[in-house]
A and B are shown apart, each in its own frame.
Chain A
Amino acid sequence: MIWNEKIECASREDMEAIQSERLCETVKRIYHNVPAYRKKMQEVGLTAYDIHGISDLHKLPFTIKTDLRDNYPYGLFTVPMSEIVRLHASSGTTGKPIVVGYTRKDIQMWAEVVSRSLTMAGVHRNDIVQIAYGYGLFTGGLGLHYGTENLGASVIPISGGNTHKQIQLMEDFGSSVLCCTPSYALNIAEVMREMKVDMKKLKLRVGVFGAEPWSEAMRKDIETKLGIKAIDIYGLSEIVGPGVSCECEHQCGMHINEDHFLPEIINPETLEPMAPGEIGELVFTTITKEGIPLIRYRTRDLTRLIYDKCACGRTLVRMEKCKGRSDDMLIIRGVNVFPSQVESVLLSISEVEPHYLIIVDREGTLDKMSLMVEVQEQFFSDEIKKLEDLRMKIARRLDSVLGISVNVKLVEPKTIERTAGKAKRVIDNRKI
């Protein structure tokens, strides 16, 4: 089934006409309503009337994560706060989060693209959908929630964690769809095995997994262990949240809801657009969003676009699974972590020098982050209790800024490798 056949199967010409019209409207709105955008456009000699369609897209200046931080919290909003009905936030590159605001229409648009995505995954109104993404500031939980309700399926808004209860409700309520991070899906599968759950009694059929990178090998593993079809869903809070793109049942790339989110691939070094099919950095322009439209937002995700018609009948352009990042962001248990955030935490603690090393491991199915911090002369205490207190203090601050627990290890001075060039701050031992 296709949720919105007219759009999802539109010809390239029709789609480009829709995109061009919406792009021009969006550019006019941001030019007139957001001083920061107007200034950026004027700096490159552009006015709102120089953009006539998507062929002019490359003329527009890029937006990067720092722009959101510099205009924190509401500087890039295009509408007054009275029009905003919801706020979400995700981690920024330093201590401050980035904030996105949704108008009532944005929430409806988001529900629409998530309904399309779920339909692509094979979910229908008779399904019982267990949403085990976190609810709250993170877009995962509420994004899937509204899309599922809009589709007409039944939502179990259980949120993340409490794996035993997840499994119990899955058995008792007959959940047929599970939405969570792929690593949490594997975790659930493992606990099921420990609990000797009779898989035949489960109704589970489809998993809609995202918010972190995962490989084809991991997909096979999940599909075998849970006996389901595992579908990849993509999104980022800045653009809307989950539902920017999603795989169909053919699992051959994620269909981008390109009538709302206009994609481009650029060379992250030269910033020049790349030829179709080449791997580069994914850039999105939101062309219907009212709360906080973003122009040529650099996602830092590396992928390629596929314009061929899909076996499912949809013509929406597909993006391949992301092949990495063009920055140093880590995704740990679905949470975005930047080394610069860790650095800002260490700088806020007077006893510590910001010599550190982040180590990420996958133990079983869960990601574990450790942080090695050098014990400097000036904060070395002769008493174990004081060193333990310091360790706990660093861990607590990191938890409050990053939103994940970190195992802090104190190490001897000068043991963290110094390199001539850029310091090596991260060792990622996960095999994704």
Chain B
Amino acid sequence: MLIKQLSIFLENKSGRLNEVSQILGSNGINMSAFSVADTSEFGILRLIVSDPELACKVLRENQFSVSLTDVVCLNCPNEPGALAKTLEILSDNKVSIAYLYAYSMGDSANVVLKPDQMEQCIKVLQANKVDLVKASELYKI
């Protein structure tokens, strides 16, 4: 159930994001999802890619600060109130979310999230029959 997400430290200067995507592209690594969190001085790029280990290696070779972070990805219907239902399950069970990002794909949507307590999060989501996306499936998208 655990997804290996790539996190990359970026200074706020032009061309850095472009560089990351070029390095990944030239190594045949595809991106299935990403988000950028930024402050006034720096940003963190979070990526789900086809081959996280390889991506990590090639980026490190290019002097980037990279880490692999465990996240979960759930799939919910692309309709009003669907996300709220899932979030309610988490908050009822005292699971907090550090961050999340999502993208819709027609009828359904994928939500990548980083909870404060991973085990508890997976347990309650499974108990409530929330559809969790397998890593192998997500990397292929």
Contacts and interface: CB of A to CB of B under 8 A. Distances in A.
Nearest to A415: B11
Nearest to B42: A410
A388 B43 CA distance: 11
Interface stretch (A69-77, A254-262, A274-282, A378-386): A378-386
A412 B99 contact: no
Interface size class on chain A is: 10 to 19
A370 to B, nearest CB: 10
Interface stretch (B61-69, B75-83, B118-126): B61-69
User: Which of B5, B46, B67 has the largest count of A CB atoms less than 10 A from its CB?
Assistant: B67
B7 A382 contact: yes
Nearest to B6: A382
Interface string B37-72: 101011010100000000000001001111101000
Contact of A380 (B11, B41, B67): B67
Contact of A383 (B10, B11, B60, B99): B99
A375 B10 CA distance: 10
Interface in B2-32: 5, 7, 9-11, 16
Contacts of A411: 11, 42
A375 B7 CA distance: 13
A376 B16 CA distance: 17
Nearest to B13: A412
B9 A380 contact: yes
A18 interface: no
Contacts of B10: 412
A377 B64 CA distance: 8
A375 B65 contact: yes
Interface string A186-229: 00000000000000000000000000000000000000000000
B41 A412 contact: no
Given A377-B66, A409-B41, A413-B63, A382 B46 contact: yes
A409 B42 CA distance: 9
A251 B5 CA distance: 66
Interface string A408-432: 0111111100000000000000000
Q: Which of A388, A410, A415 gathers most chain B CB within 10 Å?
A: A410
A167 interface: no
Interface string B110-124: 000010000000000
Given A412-B9, A412-B11, A382 B65 contact: no
A391 to B, nearest CB: 8
Contacts of B84: none
A162 B89 CA distance: 52
Contact of A382 (B11, B41, B63, B67): B67
Nearest to B38: A384
Q: Is the interface of B mostly helix, strand, loop or mixed?
A: strand
Given A375-B9, A411-B11, A412-B11, A382 B69 contact: yes
A408 to B, nearest CB: 9
Contacts of A329: none
A387 interface: yes
A380 B37 CA distance: 14
B98 interface: yes
B105 to A, nearest CB: 25
Contacts of A375: 9, 42, 65
A388 B64 CA distance: 19
Nearest to B98: A383
Interface string A397-413: 00000000000011111
Contacts of B41: 409-410
Contacts of A414: 63
Given A382-B46, A409-B41, A376 B11 contact: no
A14 B15 CA distance: 71
A392 to B, nearest CB: 12
Contacts of B42: 375, 387, 410-411
B48 to A, nearest CB: 13
Given A380-B9, A382-B114, A383-B98, A412 B65 contact: yes
A412 B37 contact: no
A377 B44 contact: no
B67 A377 contact: yes
B112 to A, nearest CB: 12
A385 B67 CA distance: 16
B60 to A, nearest CB: 7
Nearest to B5: A382
A376 to B, nearest CB: 7
A414 B60 CA distance: 11
B115 to A, nearest CB: 12
A372 to B, nearest CB: 10
9 contacts: A375-B42, A380-B66, A382-B7, A384-B44, A409-B41, A410-B9, A412-B16, A412-B64, A412-B65
Given A383-B98, A410-B11, A410-B41, 8 more contacts: A380-B67, A382-B7, A382-B69, A383-B44, A384-B39, A387-B9, A412-B10, A412-B16
Report, nearest first, the 3 A-B pairs whose CB atoms are least far apart.
A382-B7, A380-B65, A382-B69
